[in-house]
Structure 1
């Protein structure tokens, strides 16, 4: 049965709001004692119950009627005592359908919902609750509301904010993120598979190419060693060129094999004394490849790395520095390290021919050469191997240089 409702809950029609249709300022709070028992008092006296009253002292209570947030009051029997315009819009019911009727009459299945359990807890225990709730209308449409429930002398007060648009945006963002993550996973899996196929192909091709080279080399040895063969000087010159190119091809295939094997090699990190490693490699270079370069090794920081792989990095960078310093009057290579942003950075500085920074991005590509092949020997794979090893360690490689003024090659490792 519909109950008789006092006009105490309706703001005076003669009063006009200075903030009609606008939100109450942040942190305002309504004292329900005053709202439900004293609403007939003078508006200014009532508004003093709001926080930050200095900002709204000239606003009458009709602002509650037209504020964006829904405001409703239920008594201890779950009867609607008051609803503002926002609640009418949110619930999609008229005032006549709500006031004087119980919540259970309006929503017959509400007692079986989580939101009713929350309302009941607040009603019985006189506690404050704040949560988000999904509401399904009779036509099947869904809206989301942010609810703030607090005890009132007559029962409970509910403030509701429609957050449907925000929830839709969050759901869309979540969906896009999930789709993006799925695409990243798919692309990663595809790239991993392609890399495996490429490594397998490179290994197979490189291995198979060495067989015919050995045959060619064998025939060259027979021809050159045959004393009965009458070979004029031009033929001997051609044979020598063939052998030189066979040796270059063999070196290139060997480098390609080494590059392909890196993809299969597992990184086994240990504590590496980088200074000792650099000193041993420098001594080996002196013994096996006599050169006139002065090698200066600083107090290098220790690192956690795969000893064999990082040794290859040092060999490649040191040989690279020595090679490109060959034509300097006093070749010099400086190896040093420093710490930066949680990483250890190692540098190999030379005073050689340097390079144009315009082409710096090509330095670490496989088979990339910055200088004519006849000027400096090499396969064009050494720096590509360096980059792959450092990448497997979770580090980075880069270089700086200037034509005629030398170069500095850097690599970083996690500290």
Structure 2
């Protein structure tokens, strides 16, 4: 059984001397049995890897059972000098009143290589996202100056020439004024979007307190629309209080804004623990949305309804998505047209943000 085990298996004594190996060890490391038996197990470790040698010495002084899943990956070398990563399971056994260590070895080079590539890709994506955010911030900031110039001259034209030119000129000036105003709001929105995640202050945030404060802020809209709330006990989460406030504000604001005609908005906010996350839901009884729009609504500047009917620039849910992702979670929506929507989002229950 030992000789033909599927994993590479070797047996060492309490001094770390290899006393027995199976065929898989010969195949994996490229040595014949006679070349390894009698050698110290450190023979398989590259000389420059001092830390691994110290770990082996420490383990041999107090050997305990250790599963492969509990082990770190170790760098080892073959007979030809090539190096690769292994994971190893260890099991102290007693033979003829002597303690030996049975080691089960598995080549995990492919996995380590894949993890490293994924880490490199993730780092590259993070760097690109950072560059893109910086570009967005700078571009939006620099656009403000020429826009201010255009707006200033349009105001001068309005003051000095309104009614003194033909009717078309007045109408054109009005179009330019409205377009400039809209452009100003779009640039401000872009700047606000780029600012999310910059200079964050992280702390434990009481979500119940946060929602209560938002209700006070929306007191006029709530009274005007007869909005009612059902709010379960919400948890404390680790995050940026300002960002989480913007998240709840946007979801509550949308629930009030996109109400059905003749129906008072009802908003239910609840949460539940799911593994390492808190899952929140914000449910309303509003106009809902169609299946094909469920992903579009999180794209910046996306508006599904006529601007004349519902004011806004399509920024709120894009803000929400960015904030949730910065808190290690995701956001999605379930919705039925004319029945309402439920927005779900998760927040990582950790202080490793």
2:272 aligned with 1:339, yes or no? yes
Match of 1:215 among 108, 133, 149: 149
Q: Which runs of 5+ in 2 are unaligned?
A: 6-21, 27-32, 42-75, 82-92, 97-102
1:246-395 aligned at under 5 Å gives the runs: 246-272=180-206, 274-287=207-220, 291-304=224-237, 305-325=239-259, 327-342=260-275, 343-395=277-329
Q: Which runs of 5+ in 1 are unaligned?
A: 1-22, 27-66, 70-85, 91-105, 116-133, 141-147, 152-162
Match of 1:113 among 28, 36, 39: 39
The answer on whether the counterparts of 2:162 and 2:170 sit within 8 Å (CA) in structure 1 is no
The answer on whether the counterparts of 2:247 and 2:320 sit within 8 Å (CA) in structure 1 is yes
Cα distance change on mapping 1:150 and 1:318 into 2, 3 Å: closer
Deviation at 1:246, TM superposition (A): 1.3
Find the aligned partners of 2:115 and 2:273 in 1 and give their Cα distance. Answer: 31
The answer on whether the counterparts of 1:303 and 1:413 sit within 8 Å (CA) in structure 2 is no
Deviation at 1:110, TM superposition (A): 8.6
The answer on whether the counterparts of 1:275 and 1:297 sit within 8 Å (CA) in structure 2 is no
Deviation at 1:194, TM superposition (A): 0.4
Deviation at 1:226, TM superposition (A): 1.9
The runs of at least 4 consecutive aligned structure 1 residues that moved more than 6 Å come to none
**Aligned counterpart, 2:135:** 201
2:172 aligned with 1:238, yes or no? yes
1:36-55 aligned at under 5 Å gives the runs: none
Structure with greater proportional strand content? 2
**Aligned counterpart, 1:404:** 338
Q: Note the alpha carbon deviations across 1:279-334, whole angstroms, 9 max, x for none.
A: 33233234489842513141441322321111111121122222211x42123131
* TM-score scaled by length of structure 1: 0.57
Find the aligned partners of 1:233 and 1:289 in 2 and give their Cα distance. Answer: 42
The answer on whether the counterparts of 1:278 and 1:297 sit within 8 Å (CA) in structure 2 is no
**Aligned counterpart, 1:10:** none
Find the aligned partners of 1:289 and 1:221 in 2 and give their Cα distance. Answer: 36
Q: Give me the CA root mean square deviation.
A: 3.9
Find the aligned partners of 1:312 and 1:278 in 2 and give their Cα distance. Answer: 11
1:153-168 aligned at under 5 Å gives the runs: none
Find the aligned partners of 1:188 and 1:266 in 2 and give their Cα distance. Answer: 21
Aligned length: 275
The answer on whether the counterparts of 1:279 and 1:297 sit within 8 Å (CA) in structure 2 is no
Cα distance change on mapping 1:234 and 1:322 into 2, 3 Å: farther
Find the aligned partners of 1:207 and 1:399 in 2 and give their Cα distance. Answer: 33
Deviation at 1:366, TM superposition (A): 2.0
The answer on whether the counterparts of 2:229 and 2:266 sit within 8 Å (CA) in structure 1 is yes
Find the aligned partners of 2:183 and 2:37 in 1 and give their Cα distance. Answer: 83
Cα distance change on mapping 1:150 and 1:279 into 2, 3 Å: closer
Find the aligned partners of 2:198 and 2:160 in 1 and give their Cα distance. Answer: 44
Cα distance change on mapping 1:331 and 1:252 into 2, 3 Å: farther
